[in-house]
Amino acid sequence: MRKNSPNIRALKLLHSFCPSYFLLLVLKSFFAKLSPYFNLYLSAEIINEIIGTRNKDTLITLVLVTVLGNFAIAVIGGILNRVFNHKETLLYQREAQYYNTKTLTLDYDNLENPEVRQLRRKITESSKINFHGKQLLLNSIGYLVNITINAVLALILGIEMFVLMFASGFSWLIVLLACLIVGLVAFNVWYSFRQKDKMGQVSRNVSQTMIDENRIDNAIDCYNIGKDVRLYRQDKLIMKIKNYAFDLHKKAFRTMESKRYKLNIPLTVAGVLLEAIIYVFVCVYALLGAFGIGSIIKYVGFVETIAGCITSYFSVFADIKYNTPFVEDYLAYFDIPQKMYQGSLTVEKRDDNEYYVEFKDVSFKYPGAETYALRHVNIKFKVGERLAVVGMNGSGKTTFIKLMCRLYDPTEGEILLNGVNIKKYDYDEYLAVFSVVFQDFKLFSFPLGENVAAGTDYDTEKVTSSLRQSGFGERLASMPDGIKTPLYKDFDNNGVEVSGGEAQKIALARALYKNAPFIILDEPTAALDPIAEYEIYSKFNEIVGDKTAIYISHRLSSCRFCDKIAVFDNGQIVQRGSHDELVSDENGKYRELWYAQAQYYTE
């Protein structure tokens, strides 16, 4: 691990979530490893005493030390384990919060960006399936600590063995033993690295096939697709895709297992050989009188442990190396810059609500897109005005709103709020100026009141009046638990399923509750029945009050109450004016759209 390597960076980040985690890891590992050595050491002493002088007092002392020592180790180890588990949970919880906060605060263009979505999917899926990434890194550090403690404890015993062996005078035998052990361990290390490299690709294949299979399971699980599956009998198609993905996964898994089995044979042979050699040497030294027969177990345990530790060290480092690309992905996600948050200017809180927004020669291309979604848009409007934005599908209406709300920044030109480029404002403050109901708005499976207020602390009166204003009053009266009724059944079996039109009214109430100077409605009545639509329009002025309303629709009849209408075509504003002005322009787009729709009502 180089300095500033991704692994060091990731460890520093994880450490910041729970600083005591690593210290506790060392302590709990020490106590977990201490017990076998303690027993190994004392049982050898007891056997040597029984074979040797058989001193009763010494034997009683040794037995007492063994029993009490084991008890103390078990108690301290148990406490440390509990504290460690608690800290581990805390670390993962804080890490999840950090990760989710990153996702929730990503600049919107990155949230939509397929590469970022792919990166996020890779991180979550591979960590779920094979613990790759932060978890494998933490596990590896856990192993490293364990191995190190094991090696240190074993070495303490080992020093005693070497002193006794050298004292017995057959030092050439020690050199031979050391050479054989070093040779076999070197083979293990070399072979483990080679094996990890060879296994790397096959296990990555298995991960990918599991990710694909999981994705299909997630889709099957999603009850939103249930209707279409039943109506179009897509169950067979889905099962075919699922079986295909399952077969691929099975095949990749079998390939991995058989490769692992074949690759493991030399390691197993080397392990058995190592053990046999160690036994022979330690027994030979015991017979030569270097130490008592009881010490055989102790010293065999030591040599085996040291050899095992060396092999394990390299195996863990190979794991860390193999896991590094996953850690890099993990960090890359946090490294995605947040350019939306660079502004610091506060938005002037104006009692007179005199805000105005201006688009100055704004053009915009979606990331990766070839063509412009908006071209040379120039428009200015101030609080209190009613602006309708009309145009055919794909003409750029929603993009115009997304830019105004700074979900994206313009590719060219600038957008000003009260004469200042909106990039200069503090992002949260700027967003507070807008209430938006997008066409594809989302409600959450939370209680109704929390949906409207977008929070858990809310003003009950204000929630209720916003719901009444948006036309949800009657339905609210029939809700079993009023504004506390949960929506949908994802988290609560008593949740209420609301219709598309009802959901749209709730979304409108959410916008009204926010009470921002600008209210933007993207096809706000698309899911409403004609009567509900009429109700909303007839009291639109009352609902919107003195706010600026920007209203997007391709239903031109519903835009007539607006002071200004901007007609979008092919990413440009091609006309603007009042309904009467626009409809009288015989060559204009508005008139074409107006009559195209009007014919259905007039014929």
Task: Compute how many other C-beta atoms are within 10 angstroms of the C-beta atom of residue 481.
Answer: 12
> In the complex with ligand ADP, which residue's Cβ is closer, 111 or 219?
111
Size of the site for ligand ADP (CB under 6 A): 12
- Which residue among 218, 224, 268, 393 contacts ligand ADP (CB under 6 A)? 393
**Interface with ligand ADP (CB under 6 A), residue from 292, 308, 391, 486:** 391
Residue among 131, 295, 99, 291 nearest 203 (CA)? 131
Report residue 485 as tokens: 């009724």
From the CB of 393, what's the least distance to ligand ADP, in Å? Answer: 4
State the DSSP H helix or E strand holding residue 389, giving kind and residue range, or none if neither. strand 386-391
Asked whether the beta carbons of 349 and 417 are under 8 A apart, the reply is: no
Write the single-letter amino acid at 22.
Answer: F
Comparison of 279 and 366: residue with beta carbon closer to ligand ADP:
366
Rounded CA-CA distance 182/307 in Å is 8
Task: Mark residues 398-417: x for contact with ligand ADP by CB under 6 A, - for none.
Answer: xx------------------
Point out which span in 275-283, 394-402, 497-505, 573-581 binds ligand ADP (CB under 6 A).
394-402
Least CB distance from residue 408 to ligand ADP, whole Å? 9
CB atoms within 10 A of CB 93: 12
Is residue 18 classed as helix, strand or coil in its secondary structure? Answer: coil
Stretch that binds ligand ADP, among 30-38, 134-142, 235-243, 396-404 (CB under 6 A): 396-404
Opening angle at CA 194, ends 193 and 199, nearest 5: 95
| Nearer of residues 107 and 213 to ligand ADP, judged by Cβ | 107
Binding residue for ligand ADP, selected from 6, 292, 396, 447, defined by CB under 6 A: 396
- Give the number of other CB atoms < 10 A from CB of residue 61: 13
Span of 135-143, 153-161, 167-175, 386-394 interacting with ligand ADP by CB under 6 A: 386-394
What residue has token string 């697709």? 225
CA dist list (Å): 385 to 329, 381, 513: 48, 7, 20
**Can you give the length of the chain in residues?**
603
Nearer to ligand ADP, 327 or 404 (CB): 404
The strand pairing partners of 522, in sequence order, are 552
CB of 405 to ligand ADP, least distance (A): 13
Which amino acid is present at 532?
Answer: A
| Shorter beta-carbon distance to ligand ADP: residue 170 or 366 | 366
Q: Is 516 in the site for ligand ADP (CB under 6 A)?
A: no
Q: Which of 397, 406, 510, 564 binds ligand ADP (CB under 6 A)?
A: 397
Q: Phi-psi region for residue 471, left (φ > 0), alpha (ψ -120 to 50) or beta?
A: left
* Of 401 and 479, CB closest to ligand ADP: 401
109 binds ligand ADP (CB under 6 A): no
* Binding window for ligand ADP (CB under 6 A); candidates: 240-248, 366-374, 427-435, 478-486: 366-374
H or E segment and range at residue 173:
helix 171-221
Q: Does 112 bind ligand ADP (CB under 6 A)?
A: yes
Q: Give the nearer residue to ligand ADP in terms of CB position, either 312 or 398.
A: 398
To the nearest whole angstrom, how small is the minimum distance from the Cβ of residue 111 to ligand ADP? Answer: 10
Least spacing, CB of residue 120 vs ligand ADP, in Å: 17
Rg from Cα positions in the chain: 36
- What residue type is 132 in one-letter code? H
In the chain, the largest separation of any two C-alpha atoms, in whole Å, equals 120
> To the nearest whole angstrom, how small is the minimum distance from the Cβ of residue 369 to ligand ADP?
5
Which of 126, 209, 395, 435 forms a contact with ligand ADP (CB under 6 A)? 395
Binder of ligand ADP out of 64, 269, 369, 596 (CB under 6 A)? 369
Q: How far is the CB of 347 from ligand ADP (least distance, A)?
A: 25
Region near ligand ADP per CB under 6 A, out of 231-239, 270-278, 325-333, 387-395: 387-395
Total Cβ atoms within 10 A of residue 146: 20
The residue (of 146 and 395) whose beta carbon lies closer to ligand ADP is 395
- Beta partners for residue 379, in sequence order: 359
Query: Which of residues 226 and 394 has its CB atom nearest to ligand ADP in the complex?
Result: 394
57 or 440: whose CB is closer to ligand ADP? 440
Query: CA-to-CA distance for 189 and 311, rounded, in angstroms?
Result: 6
Is the Cβ of residue 352 or residue 370 nearer to ligand ADP in the bound state? 370
Place of tokens 């293990």: 188
SS3 14: helix
CB atoms within 10 A of CB 64: 10
Task: For residue 425, give the 3-state DSSP assignment.
Answer: strand
Q: Does 524 bind ligand ADP (CB under 6 A)?
A: no
Minimum distance, C-beta of residue 589 to ligand ADP, in the bound complex (Å) = 13
Write down the H helix ranges in 18-133.
21-51, 56-105, 108-112, 114-130
373 near ligand ADP, judged by CB under 6 A: yes
Query: Among residues 331 and 526, whose Cβ is nearest to ligand ADP?
Result: 526
CA dihedral 525, 529, 530, 534 (to 10 degrees): -50
Q: To the nearest whole angstrom, how small is the minimum distance from the Cβ of residue 429 to ligand ADP?
A: 26
- In the sheet with 572-577, reading across from the earlier edge strand, the strands are 434-437, 518-522, 548-553, 386-391, 564-569, 572-577
Segment contacting ligand ADP by CB under 6 A, of 132-140, 197-205, 352-360, 389-397: 389-397
Q: Which of 183, 226, 394, 545 binds ligand ADP (CB under 6 A)?
A: 394
Task: Give the Å distances, CA to CA, from 181 to 144, 178, 186, 279, 290.
Answer: 21, 5, 8, 12, 20
Smallest distance, ligand ADP to C-beta of residue 99, A: 24
Distance CA 100, CA 106 (A): 10
Smallest distance, Å, CB 573 to ligand ADP?
A: 12
Among 108, 143, 366, 561, binds ligand ADP (CB under 6 A): 366
Q: Which chain residues interact with ligand ADP by CB under 6 A? A: 112, 366, 369, 373, 391, 393-399
